Amino acid sequence: MKPIAVALATVLAALPAAAMAQDDAYCPERPGINTPPCVTPPGRVSVETAIVDWTRDDSDGARNDSVAIGDTLVRVGLTDRVEARVGWLPFGHSYARDAGSIATADRVGDVSLGVKALLTDPDGGGALAVAVLPFATLPVGRTPIGAGDWGAGVLLPISYSLTDKVALALTPEVDAAVDGDGDGRHLAYSAAAGLSYALTDALTATGEVQALRDDDPAGHATQTVAALSFAYLATPDTQFDIFAAAGLNRNTPDAELYAGIAHRF
């Protein structure tokens, strides 16, 4: 992680002092399925990391477990409407057992590059916020942790504040997803919806559901999942989180658990 730390230090050293003095409310993208439309303020950097992320999938007598360590998203504010972002998984472990045979793999993950642009007025003070987030993934890692080829997609994050404590989130997404054999792309699309409630000024609970359609040539599938997460804002620039999800049909991984941290510089 040293090269990342050096790069962040270089970026921070170049930021104007006036921008660093902003007092905008911190809005990490962790935890949860939905993506919030808020962008990182200009001159600020948000580093958001899954300390550990475990997923389990049991199907037809086979068991697959995957563990991701340090999956990190770095968001850099460019203007009051636009941020640039890069994500990378430095270590992933895969364990697959089927009919008595066991296969394991330790890999790095792929790199994700994107730009999020806020479409609504950041200073308007309205309840509705909408953004657009195009992204691309670069095949830095190898299967089964990496996808094996490049992919791309676009999200349309939407949020609406129902009250001072309750907010609705929606995230439709369309992807050119990598084929299961790691060669070529196919259409995948999804929609997520969530409701968050501020239990206190620092603690927020969020419930979410998502449906995803994957038209992989090897076999079309629809996945559905439900999730619950909690985010605790320990300081104005530091958040801790936990997340749990359960698959609602046989095509979806059975369970996912993770814990993470986000900090804004």
DSSP secondary structure letters along 186-208: EEEEEEEEEEEEESSSSEEEEEE
Question: What pTM was estimated for this model as a whole?
Answer: 0.84
What letter would DSSP give residue 237?
T
- Rounded to 5 degrees, φ, ψ at 19 are -70, -35
C-alpha distance from residue 5 to each of 2, 30, 74, 117, 216 (Å): 5, 20, 11, 26, 37
pLDDT value for 124: 61
pLDDT digits (tens, 9 = 90+) for 85-124: 999 999 999 998 987 789 899 999 999 999 999 999 887 6
pLDDT digits (tens, 9 = 90+) for 202-261: 999 999 999 999 998 888 899 999 999 999 999 999 999 999 999 999 989 999 999 999
**Which positions ≥6 away from 118 have C-beta within 8 Å?**
37, 38, 39, 80, 81, 82, 129, 130, 131
pLDDT value for 144: 87
pLDDT value for 8: 38
pLDDT value for 20: 36
pLDDT digits (tens, 9 = 90+) for 158-173: 999 999 999 999 999 9
Domains and CATH numbers, the chain: 2-264 (2.40.160.40)
pLDDT digits (tens, 9 = 90+) for 11-57: 334 434 333 333 489 999 999 999 999 999 999 999 999 999 999 99
